[in-house]
A and B are shown apart, each in its own frame.
Chain A
Amino acid sequence: MSSDARVPAPPARRTPTLKERAVPALISIVSVTVFFGTIAFLVTSAEQWPRIRFQFFNPDAIMAAFPNVLRGFGINMMVWAIALVAIAIWALVLAVFRSLTGPILAPLKVFSIVYIDLLRGIPSLLLVLLFGFGVPALQIPGLPRSSLFWGSVAMVLGYSAYAAEVYRSGMEAVHDGQRAAAKALGLSQWQTLYYAIIPQAVRNVLPALLNLAVALQKDVALLSVIGVRDAVREAQIYTARTFNYSSLIAAAILFLVATIPMARITDYVARKDQERRLQRTV
């Protein structure tokens, strides 16, 4: 519709007839059904399909493995939830350290820069192995020996480096005028961060942080390599006993049930954030 066609009083929008609404929907349904139906037919009619189905999608095996896998998945989600809180706090501390100015506070700034460089540069798997096997092996009295604990610590330390950079970008995006205003009102460096910069920074980067949370939700499965009996580990135990891989599919389904809603929430928050920014520029 061209814009000059609308210059005289805009015509009342005509409600589309049933036919106009139904036909496109019908076409979509038919084309989607045909497309995926063909793929499904080709796959299931393949000569190897019965073997694939037996090895991966065996309902009996899935049911048999499910209780243990679900219990393991509980551990995954527990580690995830606790790590999220720890990362949110520790990463913010790192980002604040990094933003500090003044010679007295320089050690904190340098610490934060070195920390972020190191921890971002090491694969998560390596960190999990180092902490999960390495620290308990030291047998230092007073320190916990649980690989679950140290594996989680490794995840927190590694992910915090990423999250700190996300926070930092949010803090840098806060307009300079905000700092000038805070200083002119007499707020100290800490008060400026606490009352003016950090709340705005967190709001700026919430979608990016939620993205990290979704990534972490899957990465907690790395703890399976240090013997934590999480969903993946339990599924592997079943596989080792029966030579059937359906238990892994069971674990995959559980992860999907958790991550897909999380991803949708992230999309929603990102969209809200976008709307807020657009509204402000108007």
Chain B
Amino acid sequence: MNRVEISSVTKYYGNNLVLDEVSLAVREHEVVCLIGASGSGKSTLLRCVNKLVPFDHGDISIDGVSIFSEQFNNNELHKRVGIVFQAYNLFPHINVLNNITLAPRKVHGVSREESEERAIKLLELFGMQGYEKSYPEQLSGGQQQRVAIVRALATQPDVLMLDEVTAALDPELIGGVLKIIRDLKTQGMTMLIVTHEMGFARDVADRVCFLEGGRILEEAPPNKLFSAPENPRTRQFLQRIIEAGRL
């Protein structure tokens, strides 16, 4: 059974078609990268999976159960599917520890002691020990993004979605965040990743999907997609990336 199954999802923003019958399946422990130009629908697709944005047709299911079924009230869905944003979106008025434990405590009813203990363990795991009492604005972008990843992992989700998590970071900070994602893959986390880091996608993905105009034009293992793309549009896109020196 597929961990995440997206079937024929169609979404309009007004009259604008942003997702055109997109279907995609992600198996357990699999890492799927979505690549493509800005506006191709990659981020919107992620946001459909955890109901951040509604869509018009199609269905999405987690472990065979539709996200619209009774079994998935919102809390359950957001516990099973975590997301990390490009701009971190940490809450600036509360400290790192409270950022991480807010959802476990207030949404999932975990006690303060238990959630804090787990949060501190996760922070240690990601090289952020000692920053529990810091506020987000006291941290570097890379540190904030690591906290955001810990926050998404605090509810022990089955699927982690990463939305261009390195796009806002200074080049020297990207490596640390990418290393964490590699570690998560080693630990068997199922991930759906939107990225512009082609080298990273080639390295970490089990499968890469190229999106354009709201459709998945090509879907292949990274070695094949990056070295012998079949679709001319994919070739064109990769050519531009190579010219820009990003691959």
Contact = CB atoms under 8 A, between A and B. Distances in A.
Q: Is the interface of A mostly helix, strand, loop or mixed?
A: helix
Contacts of B94: 195, 199
A59 to B, nearest CB: 52
Interface stretch (A113-121, A175-183, A227-235): A175-183
A187 B106 contact: yes
B151 interface: yes
Nearest to A177: B89
B137 A185 contact: no
Contacts of A180: 47, 52, 85, 89
Contacts of A200: 91-93
A185 B87 contact: no
A123 to B, nearest CB: 37
Interface in B97-140: 102-103, 106-108, 137
Interface string A186-209: 111001000110011001000000
Q: How large is the interface on A (under 10, 10 to 19, 20 to 34, 35 or more residues)?
A: 20 to 34
A181 B106 contact: no
Contacts of A2: none
A82 to B, nearest CB: 28
B102 A177 contact: no
Interface in B45-97: 47, 50, 52, 74-75, 77-79, 82-83, 85, 87, 89-94
A203 B75 CA distance: 29
A195 B50 CA distance: 21
Given A183-B52, A184-B78, A199 B93 contact: yes
Contacts of B90: 181
A279 B90 CA distance: 17
Given A180-B52, A185-B151, A191 B89 contact: no
Contact of B89 (A181, A187, A188, A195): A181
A226 B47 CA distance: 58
Most chain A CB within 10 A, of B47, B103, B108, is at B103
Nearest to B86: A177
A200 B90 CA distance: 12
A184 B83 contact: yes
Contacts of A177: 85, 87, 89
B93 A186 contact: no
A196 B152 CA distance: 16
A182 B94 CA distance: 13
Interface in A119-158: none
Contacts of A280: 92, 137
Contacts of B79: 186
A185 B83 CA distance: 8
Contacts of B77: 186
B107 A187 contact: yes
A279 B138 CA distance: 10
A186 B76 CA distance: 8
Most chain A CB within 10 A, of B79, B87, B89, is at B89
Contact of B102 (A183, A185, A188, A203): A185
A248 B36 CA distance: 74
B107 to A, nearest CB: 4
A238 B106 CA distance: 60
Contact of A185 (B47, B78, B93): B78
Contact of A186 (B47, B91, B92, B108): B108
Contacts of B108: 186
A21 B85 CA distance: 54
A28 B20 CA distance: 73
Interface string A7-42: 000000000000000000000000000000000000
A186 B107 contact: yes
Given A185-B107, A279-B137, A178 B85 contact: no
15 contacts: A175-B89, A177-B87, A180-B47, A183-B78, A184-B50, A184-B152, A185-B78, A185-B103, A185-B151, A186-B155, A187-B107, A188-B74, A195-B91, A196-B91, A280-B137
Interface of B: 47, 50, 52, 74-75, 77-79, 82-83, 85, 87, 89-94, 102-103, 106-108, 137, 151-152, 155
Given A181-B90, A185-B107, 16 more contacts: A177-B89, A178-B91, A180-B52, A181-B89, A184-B50, A184-B52, A184-B78, A186-B103, A188-B74, A191-B107, A195-B91, A195-B102, A196-B91, A199-B94, A200-B91, A203-B93
5 closest Cβ pairs, A-B complex: A186-B78, A181-B89, A185-B103, A177-B89, A186-B107
Interface of A: 175, 177-178, 180-188, 191, 195-196, 199-200, 203, 279-280
